[in-house]
Amino acid sequence: MVKDHLPRLRRELGLNAVLANGENASGGLGLSAKSAMELRRIGIDVVTTGNHIWKYPDIRPVLASEPWILRPANFPDQAPGRGAGVYSLGEGFPELAVINLQGRTFMEPIDCPFAAARRLLGTIPEGAVIVVDMHAEATSEKRAMAHLLRGRVHAVVGTHTHVQTNDARVLDGITGYISDLGMCGPEDSCLGMDNDIILQRFQTCLPHRFELSKGACMLNGALIEMDQGKCISIVPWQYREHKEQS
């Protein structure tokens, strides 16, 4: 879906930058080096990730060498890669700073994302537009991060739960927020996976190998407009295969 539609959508929507959480782009779980490079080639400016980033070992040298792909900043310093970056959007535009964080509630033990956020804010150049990907399970933890950073960054967007939320808003006239951007993948699915397999897993409590669902796909995300150091609007966005955009 991204490969087939992003170049055209970028032109039609007049997008200056496209950010995507790509941690499940390889078969619905994890991100391989090949998939990461393909996302870059088709027009993703910055790729953020999350708790499944270490599934494919070949992504580690990419994280270490490529500034456009991030891993959560609150992984230990010994982990490959970086958790934040500053990017040029071209002449006439402010710099874009992206911070990638991961929550701890109902997730693996990891360093504090709130401490990491406070630390990284001090490294961002003055005048940059700052976008934070808070990759977390609990909505409360995502909203808490937004309240920590409100008025200090320009957008805090949640990822990980795969289901787009309906709570997009602008905090204090400066910081755009949405609890989850949603998923790019099969629409008739359980978070992208085959419905029957997931049902068997829940009903039997036995392990089953995940398989991607078949059928029409959708793109989920948000359109964010920035101007004069403020978020002007943040709007949930969907594009469905074989259907009109909604």
Q: How far apart are CA 157 and CA 50, in angstroms?
A: 13
**Does residue 94 surpass a pLDDT of 90?**
yes
Among the listed residues 154, 152, 157, 158, the one whose alpha carbon sits nearest the alpha carbon of residue 175: 154
Task: Give all domains of the chain, ordered by start, each with its CATH number.
Answer: 2-182+216-240 (3.60.21.10)
Contacts of 205 (CB under 8 A, 6+ apart): none
φ, ψ (nearest 5 deg) of residue 146: -60, -40
Tokens of 100: 């990638």
pLDDT in tens, 71-90: 999 999 999 999 999 999 99
pLDDT of residue 215: 87
Average pLDDT over residues 79-108: 96
pLDDT of residue 127: 95
pLDDT of residue 242: 64
Average pLDDT over residues 143-148: 98
Q: How far apart are CA 104 and CA 206, in angstroms?
A: 26
pLDDT in tens, 183-233: 999 999 998 999 999 999 999 999 988 998 998 999 999 999 999 999 999
pLDDT of residue 243: 57
Catalytic annotation, residues:
52
Average pLDDT over residues 20-25: 96
pLDDT of residue 10: 95
Count of helix runs (H) and strand runs (E) in the chain: 6, 11
Average pLDDT over residues 1-24: 95
pLDDT of residue 246: 47
Predicted TM-score (pTM) of this structure: 0.94
Task: Look over the chain and give the mean of its residue pLDDT values, rounded to a whole number.
Answer: 95
Average pLDDT over residues 146-153: 98
Q: How far apart are CA 24 and CA 3, in angstroms?
A: 15
In the block, tokens 């998939």 appear at: 35
